[in-house]
Structure 1
Amino acid sequence: MLFKGLLMFRILCVFLIFCIVLVADNLNKDNKKNKIYVQNEYISEKSKIDDFKKQCDNNGRESCVWLAGYYLYGKDNVKQNVQKGLELYNKACNLDFKEACEALHTIYFDGKNELNIKKDFNKSFYYLVKICKLESKKCPNFKPNKDFKNYINACDKDFGWACYYVAISKNDINLYEKACILNEIKACFDLGSMYESGNGLPQNISKAKKYFKIVCDKDDSYIVCSENRDAIYGSKDGVSANFTQKMQVAMEKCAKNNAMECFNLGTYYYNGDNVTKDFQKAKENFKKSCDLGYKTACEAYNDM
């Protein structure tokens, strides 16, 4: 009887040991699963960041913005690098990604103490101009606030860049002119463009040439200076010395959807400027320029 009792006790002990080993093994498996899960999560995150880098290197604008956020704030195992973050935002902005331009405008307009970024009205203004060019509707509706008054005060003290900022925001021609007088070349260029196209001002080719000449006298790197030099400065013999180059440039840039160059190409064919007149080609180029948003080209197309 005693023997049977000891046997049952031993069997019970073996069973308990087996259960303990089984539970421990399951717990160990669970832990391994958890470790694998965490590791996979990390690998996935790293893979995502690598994908963003590749896409950004290939001019993927949204990927550049995502990466900028990682570097700016040091997120998800990415070492914080504020300068790198700003550079990536700037790259996306230069690729005409409006949200990136808006982010930079806000950063420099407000400043970011936690990132050691001070207010910089010059840089803030630069990105506002980019935003306005990408979405012009935003500029006339800009609501002045306390910080905006700094620009007005700076304009009153004859800072041309500040006058240009306020001119864009208020759509104020007088301030465009003041900014131009104060050597803000971008203001002179905008005035020339408005007078040329009749967009925002009554069309006046003579005034357009006047403002473009101011631009080109100070900075001939603007496209209008090289491609419309004869129109701006006049041509002694009535024939452009570099017309072939201008024609080639116009064709290349029109192929890349440059509205102004498509219009220029149309005028060459329409007027027979050193090329055989071809109204069909003129019409095609006017239409393309119009479809790209150039108002004067629409008028030229409708007149044909």
Structure 2
Amino acid sequence: MNYKQIKQTILVFLMGILFSNLAIAQESTEQKEPSLIELKEACDDKVASACMLLAGRYFKGERITMNIVRAKKYFTEACTLGEKKSCELSKNMDKIMDDTNNRYTKGCEKGIVSDCATMGLLAFRGQMIHRNWKTARVYLTKACDQKDKMSCDLITGLNFVEKSVDACNKGDTKGCNEVGILYIKGDMEAEVNAEEAIKYFTKACDNGNSDGCSFLAKIYIKGIGVRPNIQKASSFFEKVCDRGDAKICMMLGSEYEKGNQLKEDHTKAKELYKKACDLGEKSGCSKYRELGI
């Protein structure tokens, strides 16, 4: 059973529950359609209606992957901020998660291999029920033992994730980057989770791993799950330059010299070209002299 089939099974099962609540969620999304990033920023700023709208997006899977766990999170936040409708909807999310858990747990207990596989996937991804890798391993193993290839593959993936997270927690910055990459590619949740990716890349960057800084810079340049921010991106690239990457020093120097995306600053450009020169980059020496030093 592949992921597409499992997803369809889950959607069919949830349809009755979802339609009973859809009208209320629809009410919260009939107004102007702000972006997901705008909603997250507003919700972080304690705007209850933004949290409500965000929850509705995740609840319906509107231009994003359906995620009941996140819908629960944002309905709860809206409730805390005084949005009364969301209090009941938050409880409904609990019911959906409980019903989903019971449906596939009981099916697996009856020997339905596809239900074991689904339960394992759900516990691994943390979208329709809360993430629990221990639970995921139990159900994926049951399905894998019955020759379910997807479950066997997911166990391999789970082994890698747990190993990388453990390594990161013990100070191995490479492990932090590995987990960050999984989140930014959407391999962990079937969608990009920039918040988690940034957390792991930041841990790597702060502990001296230049690749982690570069990943952060690229996230902010491209606006992957966050609002594009060239200044933030350049600050991370500067860390990479300071740690001895001459090519990054040259790239930043050029940006400051030309003023294409960053504010033109020849003093800053010369400083960066000088760093590149000191690191053995001959073109950096040429550019340094060219700017009149």
The higher radius of gyration belongs to 1
TM-score in terms of structure 2 length = 0.38
